[in-house]
């Protein structure tokens, strides 16, 4: 089983778009790049997606390869395959982590999410997201709080996992 990203971090973004990948995240990126070895630069893929997406989604090579296999299993010419290819192949940016643990976010990607000065990184299983901190606070924190309001005060999130489900 692939290692998972864990945690959330605030990182500085310089005027050239360079941002340090949190050290814990770098270890996962390295472990999930089959071509990586000590002294090499690990690869990852940034999916920026459509106009509605307000964050950058960063996939390890293993994770994006798994998605590619699932897309390839769809019938050629189907609308689903065409759209997924556009979103995950066309609207993506392959990159490498440099020797200082940084990636360069192109201007187009920074402008898309309004990123300047600081980035917010948050783990999401086999990928991580990069947000403008204020956007994350305004949208995702509010969404999480609204979702939690549907449950009683003593709600245990683990109850949502298969085999642990209890009636609401």
Domains of the chain: 8-153 (3.40.1550.20)
Torsion of CA 154, 159, 165, 168, to 10 degrees: 30
- Gyration radius (Cα) of the chain, Å: 18
Over its length of 168 residues, how does the chain's per-residue pLDDT go in tens digits?
Answer: 458 999 999 999 999 999 999 999 999 999 999 999 998 999 999 999 888 899 999 999 999 999 999 999 999 999 999 999 999 999 999 999 999 999 999 999 999 999 999 999 999 999 999 999 999 999 888 889 899 999 999 999 899 999 876 555
């Amino acid at each position: 089983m692939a290692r998972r990203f864990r945690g959330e971090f605030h990182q500085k973004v310089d005027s050239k778009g360079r941002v340090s990948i949190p050290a814990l995240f770098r270890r996962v990126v390295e472990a999930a790049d089959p071509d990586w070895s000590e002294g090499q630069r690990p690869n990852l893929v940034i999916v920026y997606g459509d106009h509605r997406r307000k964050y950058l989604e960063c996939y390890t090579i293993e994770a994006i390869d798994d998605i590619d296999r699932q897309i390839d299993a769809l019938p050629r010419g189907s609308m689903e395959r065409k759209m997924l290819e556009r979103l995950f192949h066309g609207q993506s940016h392959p990159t490498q982590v440099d020797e200082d643990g940084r990636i360069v976010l192109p201007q187009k990607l920074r402008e898309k999410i309004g990123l300047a000065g600081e980035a917010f990184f948050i783990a999401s299983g086999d990928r991580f997201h990069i947000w403008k901190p204020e956007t994350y606070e305004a949208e995702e924190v509010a969404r999480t709080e609204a979702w939690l309001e549907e449950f009683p005060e003593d709600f245990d999130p683990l109850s949502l996992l298969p085999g642990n489900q209890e009636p609401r």
